Structures are given as C-alpha cells and as structure tokens.
Amino acid sequence: MIRDEDDLKMIDQMEKALDPAFKEDVFSVSRLIYEPNGYGRSRFWDDDTPDADLNLGFRMFQATSLKMHPSYNYLHITPDELAKYPFVYLAAPEGMNLSNEETKTLRSYLLNGGFMMAEDFWGDQAWNVVHSQFKRIFPDREPVELPLSHPIFHSVFDFKFFAQMPSVNTWTRGGMVYDYADYSLDPATQQATNRPYYYGIFDDKGRMMVLICRNNHYGDGWEHEGDDHSYFDKFSMPMAYPMFINIVFYAMTH
C-alpha cells in the first residue's frame, strides 16, 4: 500500500540505491504468515500491517547503510519461501497455530542459519501460550532470559534499559508504558511482571536463532510513529527503531 507522495519518493530513492544485478539480494522486512489458534487478543500475523512494515523499511534505509527492498514480504512457512530470507519477523505469536510440518520447517530453517524475531504480546497467559508454541518447534531447547549486559542491547546503540513499547492507544489514552493484561507477581521482587523480558533460543554452538520480546509491541512503535508526537519521541525514535537496528546487526554478524 502506497500512502502518499512522500512514500513514492522514498521508494524511488530505495530503488535507485539498488544494484540492478542484485535487486533481490538486499535486506527485506519479511513477516511470517500463520493460521490463528483462536486465543490471540485480536492480534495475529498481520497486526500493524502494512504501515509498520513500510515505515520500518524506510527508517532502516534512512538510518543505516543497508540496501533495503522498497516493499515488504509476507511469507508462508515453507522451505522454499524461508530459504530466501535470513531474518524473519513474527507478530503476535500467542495467536499462531502451527502445523506439524510448519514446526519442522521452522526448526530446520533456524538450525541452518535463519533468525526470527517474535514480539507483540502481553501478560503471563500469553507468555505461556508463546512458550508452548516454541517448545513445539524446539522440544529440547528452552528460551533463555537475556540480561541487559547481552551484546544485542549494545551492538550499535547502547541501551541502558530494556526497551518497551506499549500499544499506541494505551499510551495516548492512559499514559501507560505497558498494555493491560494479566501479570503475576515476581517472587523475587514482589513486583508485577509487566516489565519487558527478552529471551533467546540458541543452537548447540551458542548462536541465537530466535529473539522473543515479551511484553512489547514494536509493531505499534513502527506503525504509529506519526500518530502522536509524544509517542514518537518516547518510544518510536529512541527505542523501536534503534533496538531493531541492534537486533538486525547482531543477528547478521553472529
């Protein structure tokens, strides 16, 4: 979807930056398609599309030296589709219902060098569903909570805190930095578990294959950057884009 004349100008700039001989051999915003399981809270694979995907591609082109595909990709979970893209994005994994064949395909893709970023879900019940879905992909591997000292938080931009993006309406209507959901108490701190958590799933050599961003909505940080100045200034500009750049840089160099 082309939204206005500025989009056309940006797409023209992105196309002109491409080597004609390698027009498809560039980084793409590639989102996975899945069948819904009936649980997700109105958020499924296409949440925030297409504006989040377009804005993300535009900003990556503006802020980095990456050559970017001037559009976006929606990928079915098949070997042929995944083989074209080393980095894929998964929105609202609490809502996905993978077939047995899709779990095998993702396991093979990830073990053979692919990388997945999964985000856009809130609360303990959603985390339990997401955890169970990833255990279907990797029954023998457990998501590992990442400390703030992990290099992914410092690879390009140096984060002193865990980035967290609420949904735009949660912020503009209530001033909250996390979404309404079911949060238990952390036994160690007796604080509600509404803080952001980042988990990695690693292969046998210690390479991160999956990054799971719990209690976060990066998609809104990209999609709604222009809806409200305070949202852009507090979330989109200092967190949603810089942290994604960190994730891509880390994934592509490890």
Would 190 be classed as within a structural domain? yes
**Would you say residue 42 has pLDDT above 50?**
yes
Would 183 be classed as within a structural domain? yes
Give the neighbor-by-neighbor strand order of the sheet with 87-91: 68-75, 27-32, 87-91, 115-119, 208-214, 197-202, 144-145
pTM for the full predicted model: 0.94
- 105-132 residue pLDDT tens: 999 999 999 999 999 999 999 999 999 9
Would 5 be classed as within a structural domain? no
Secondary structure class of 121 (helix, strand, coil)? strand
Q: DSSP strand E in the chain: where? A: 27-32, 68-75, 87-91, 115-119, 144-145, 197-202, 208-214
198, two tokens? 């980042």
**Would you say residue 40 has pLDDT above 70?**
no
**Would you say residue 30 has pLDDT above 60?**
yes
User: Model confidence at 8, in pLDDT bands (50, 70, 90)?
Assistant: confident
Beta strands 208-214 and 197-202 are antiparallel
**Would you say residue 2 has pLDDT above 60?**
no
Would 198 be classed as within a structural domain? yes
Would 16 be classed as within a structural domain? no
How many domains is the chain built from?
1
Of the two residues 186 and 146, the one the predictor is more confident about is 146
Domain of 158? 25-253
Q: Where are the alpha helices (DSSP H) in 140-200?
A: 168-174
Going from the C-alpha of 102 to that of each of 10, 34, 146, 214, 231, the distances in angstroms are: 35, 9, 27, 22, 36
157, two tokens? 């931009």
Q: Per DSSP, what are the bridge partners of residue 90?
A: 118
State which amino acid sits at residue 237.
M
Would 2 be classed as within a structural domain? no
User: Model confidence at 65, in pLDDT bands (50, 70, 90)?
Assistant: confident
Would 7 be classed as within a structural domain? no
86, two tokens? 């080393």
Would 10 be classed as within a structural domain? no
Check which CATH number belongs to the domain holding 140 and give it.
3.40.50.12140
